[in-house]
Structure 1
Amino acid sequence: MPDNSNKFCESNHTCIQIPSWINGSYFKKLLKRELSDFRKILHLSIIPASPPGECESYTSLLMRIIIDIEMKDGFTQQKSYIMKTMLSDAEGIGFVNTLNIFPKEKQTYELILPQLEQLYQEQGRTVKFAPKCHWMENVNGRISLILEDLKTKKFSNINRLKGFNMKQMQRVLEKLAEFHAASAVWHQRNGPYPEDFQRVYLPANYHRSKSYQARIQSYKTAMASWGFANAELYTSRLPTADQFVQSAAHCLNNDPQEFQVLNHGDFWSGNILLNTTVAGDINEIRFVDFQRCKWGSPAQDLWELIICSAHHSLRIKQFDCFVRMYHTHLIQCLKLLNYAKPLPLLKELHMSMLRHGFWGYFTTFMHLALILLPVDKDASLPKLMLPGEEGDRCRTKVYTNPLYVRAALSIFPFLQRRGLLEF
């Protein structure tokens, strides 16, 4: 069997070394456990889990493992898995470890997701939220997950540049409502989620950050070129570093009087996989990447989904309709699962969306700019945050991208009308 330990995954013209321990011997234990008539591995291939330049991960090494195996009866078959593990020390594992995102994701797959699905099973309904996790381990602090490869079951992402259409948005919002409702009932039964789910990482030194200052300056310059009738109305309202951190902290502080759920925390189309019919209707939906789950208002997931992944013609026009779609299904699910607390009213959800409206600005400024950027080897999150000329060139490209400008020209007036740019 060929040894792939020294080969490289090439993504977005960046070479990523595959750790030597990811090899045939490592996968034998999984195959022996899953297949009683497994004999041996004939060939093992390791490739990036997403196309070059798409959905790059800066916190994980994400690989598709394709294995040709021979069975005891002499027949052969192919198995495919998605493997997610920590980056090496040289690639930033020290920083990533401080975020506790891998322990959180391991807990989610190991404990929380099966129990959320079990809540529906108890009511006679089969609901799946995520790919099956075949294997997980923590070896001296290095956490690895081996997940079902949903591509083999005809699941795929939509084109992130186009976003979800109306029918897709309704189905995704309903699936999100099922996830949120189960998470609220889980909390009711089991008490608070583990500590990692109560908090998220927030940089403490934004006010001294040259990166933030550079990004804001580039953003203001770009805004002046977008075509606003009064660009100063918006550039003057961009938050300072202190306002940015204070607003984020306010959003992340939980109000026990408010209806709360376990947010996915990174809820955009890249983390939502669809299985569709030939006609384009959705059969099933699965979520992936549970590293940023956070207990709090459902406004976080709703703002990110609508801003980052609704089709541009729907994002603002149907905003309130999307909130209502979500709320209608949320109430149905809470009733089905015997939620014992008062059911959240639609007006209360709208009020929560306003209270946590900073997510609207945050996702526009932070996430949408990269999500709407066509594949570009010269633009990436690290470069976007880089002070200096190289960073300026990247930011100019990102912030003047026509797809992003079109989105921003409708989002900023919407945020302004709702008073959400008053920091």
Structure 2
Amino acid sequence: MPDNSNKFSVSNDSVGIPDWVNAAYFKRVLKRELREFRRILNLAIIPATPPGESYTSLLMRVVIDIELKDGFSQQRSYIVKTMLNDVHGNGGFVNTLNIFPKEKMMYDTIIPQLEELYEKMGLSVKFAPKCVWSEDLKGRICLVQEDLRTKKYKNISRLKGFDMEQMERVLEKLAEFHAASAVWRQKHGPFPEDFQRIYLPANYNKSKSYQARVQSYKAAMASWGLADHEQYVNRIPTADQFVQSYARCFNNNPQEFKVLNHGDFWSSNIMLSYTQSGEINQLRFVDFQLCKWGSPAQDLWELIICSAKHSIRIECFDSFIRIYHTHLVRCLKTLNFSERLPLLRDLHMSMIKYGFWGYFTTFTHLVFILLPVDTEASLVKLTQPGEEGDRFRAKVYTNPLYVRAVLSILPFLYRRGILDF
């Protein structure tokens, strides 16, 4: 039976599934992955994230019924990740950031090499889903990965955050990733330039979008119920302070312990599997578009601020750093790291030195993370000046979940001197 008589379906055409994501495309993928592949019986394309949940990529779940050469049939499920079109609102801007070539390199080369470091020590450590196909066709990059959901991996609710047991496991996994990256650099030299580049536009200090966000933020702060809220309003950084603080988070001090940060390290990019008795089994990270060489403080701040459960975020902050540090040192020793091992106090000092990440992630990422699913949510609306932008910002900055979070985060940052811009 020829393939063109088979049944194929696309769910929710409004998300703009590209024409080239079709049976012919997956025929090539399956032939490469499965020697016994004969033909596709049925193919369904489903958006992998609800509208309003993804801002930099087009994510699809592709479920395929296939027939094998022995006559048996089988179902395969993949996650397809590709670049947004300009019509999706962010595509034109996002694609200029060069994040897709970086992620392709992570899946093709760097992650397998990080995992191999542990393998050589007799340990099985995996960081990411298997990438079964990647290509760069005239600048259009596509990644086809195993679907972790078929192996019982899932995300927690981003609105609730990780509990203490989950945080401990995530911090240990992060330490394994960071340790391997530090050893990778010793073996291979500096990471490519893309991993050290800063992505702030040069004219940020003249940006109307930043001014609009700050104006809306300060207006919202008056309604939060912060004790002496004016002292916090006065500490919101100007555009110049914001840019300078961001730039200071990246330096070339050779004495400082540095790692490859995941760069977008929050709960939706961390998947967990569980044993039958409900205990955490394995973890995998996804979305390696924003990896950056720098202080581990970046990933730690983002994880704790954006994804620790509200009741433990601040209360257990220092405990989180100790958990991470203990496992980091253990992994560095296992992998024969030859430089000075970072001390716990070094790590605490770097959390203050690079405390801007704590403010940055509160001001930017946390706003979206604590927003219940909103089909109208977009980076464009958050940053555009004018009435429509003002309405959207007023909505997200006064969202009760966000307000509850900042009522404990901002005083914490203030007490540590992090808001002294």
**Fold equivalence (TM over 0.5):** yes
Question: Any idea what SS the aligned residue of 1:99 has?
Answer: coil
Query: Which amino acid in the other structure matches residue 68 of structure 2?
Result: M
Are the aligned partners of 1:200 and 1:292 in contact in 2 as well (CA < 8 Å)? no
Question: Any idea what SS the aligned residue of 2:330 has?
Answer: helix
Residue 29 of structure 1: how far off its partner (Å): 1.2
Are the aligned partners of 2:63 and 2:78 in contact in 1 as well (CA < 8 Å)? yes
Question: Any idea what SS the aligned residue of 1:136 has?
Answer: strand
Residues 286-315 of structure 1 deviation map (CA, whole Å, 9 limit, x = unaligned) = 000000000010000000000000000111
Residue 93 of structure 1: how far off its partner (Å): 4.2
Query: Which amino acid in the other structure matches residue 20 of structure 2?
Result: W
State the match for 2:59 in structure 1.
62
The percentage of counterpart residues that share the same residue type is 69
Residue 211 of structure 1: how far off its partner (Å): 1.2
Residue 42 of structure 1: how far off its partner (Å): 1.1
Are the aligned partners of 2:51 and 2:374 in contact in 1 as well (CA < 8 Å)? no
Residue 3 of structure 1: how far off its partner (Å): 5.3
State the match for 1:43 in structure 2.
42
Are the aligned partners of 1:379 and 1:398 in contact in 2 as well (CA < 8 Å)? no
For residues 393 and 95 of structure 1, the distance between their equivalents in structure 2, rounded to whole angstroms, comes to 23
Residue 210 of structure 1: how far off its partner (Å): 1.5
For residues 140-155 of structure 1, what are the structure 2 equivalents within 5 Å?
A: 140-155=138-153
State the match for 2:83 in structure 1.
86
State the match for 1:310 in structure 2.
308
Aligned mate of 1:71, from 68, 71, 82: 68
For residues 235 and 380 of structure 1, the distance between their equivalents in structure 2, rounded to whole angstroms, comes to 25
Question: Any idea what SS the aligned residue of 2:168 has?
Answer: helix
For residues 17-36 of structure 1, what are the structure 2 equivalents within 5 Å?
A: 17-36=16-35
Flag structure 2 segments of 5+ consecutive residues without an equivalent.
1-5
Residue 96 of structure 1: how far off its partner (Å): 2.7
Aligned mate of 1:181, from 166, 179, 182: 179
Aligned mate of 2:128, from 127, 130, 136: 130
State the match for 2:111 in structure 1.
113
Q: TM-score, normalised by structure 2?
A: 0.96
Within the alignment, does 1:158 sit opposite 2:156 as a pair? Answer: yes
Are the aligned partners of 2:78 and 2:146 in contact in 1 as well (CA < 8 Å)? yes
Within the alignment, does 1:353 sit opposite 2:351 as a pair? Answer: yes
Residue 77 of structure 1: how far off its partner (Å): 1.2
Residues 91-135 of structure 1 deviation map (CA, whole Å, 9 limit, x = unaligned) = 454433321101100111111000100000011000000000000
For residues 355 and 83 of structure 2, the distance between their equivalents in structure 1, rounded to whole angstroms, comes to 33
Question: Any idea what SS the aligned residue of 2:35 has?
Answer: coil
For residues 322 and 163 of structure 2, the distance between their equivalents in structure 1, rounded to whole angstroms, comes to 16
Q: Bigger CA drift: 200-209 or 176-185?
A: 200-209
For residues 100 and 134 of structure 2, the distance between their equivalents in structure 1, rounded to whole angstroms, comes to 11
For residues 24-423 of structure 1, what are the structure 2 equivalents within 5 Å?
A: 24-53=23-52, 55-56=53-54, 58-91=55-88, 92-423=90-421
Question: Any idea what SS the aligned residue of 2:224 has?
Answer: coil
Question: Any idea what SS the aligned residue of 2:96 has?
Answer: helix
Query: Which amino acid in the other structure matches residue 72 of structure 1?
Result: K
For residues 279 and 225 of structure 1, the distance between their equivalents in structure 2, rounded to whole angstroms, comes to 45
Question: Any idea what SS the aligned residue of 2:320 has?
Answer: helix
Residues 374-418 of structure 1 deviation map (CA, whole Å, 9 limit, x = unaligned) = 112343322111211111111111111111111100000000000
Are the aligned partners of 1:157 and 1:274 in contact in 2 as well (CA < 8 Å)? yes
Residues 298-353 of structure 1 deviation map (CA, whole Å, 9 limit, x = unaligned) = 00000000000000011101001100100000000000000000100010111111
Q: How many residues align?
A: 415
Q: Bigger CA drift: 379-388 or 163-172?
A: 379-388
Query: Which amino acid in the other structure matches residue 45 of structure 2?
Result: I
Query: Which amino acid in the other structure matches residue 29 of structure 2?
Result: L
Q: Bigger CA drift: 170-179 or 196-205?
A: 196-205
Residue 52 of structure 1: how far off its partner (Å): 4.2
Are the aligned partners of 1:8 and 1:18 in contact in 2 as well (CA < 8 Å)? no
Residue 257 of structure 1: how far off its partner (Å): 1.4
Question: Any idea what SS the aligned residue of 2:157 has?
Answer: coil
Residues 56-102 of structure 1 deviation map (CA, whole Å, 9 limit, x = unaligned) = 2x221111011111122222111000011112244454433321101
Are the aligned partners of 2:181 and 2:260 in contact in 1 as well (CA < 8 Å)? yes
Query: Which amino acid in the other structure matches residue 49 of structure 1?
Result: A
Q: TM-score, normalised by structure 1?
A: 0.95
For residues 122 and 334 of structure 2, the distance between their equivalents in structure 1, rounded to whole angstroms, comes to 10
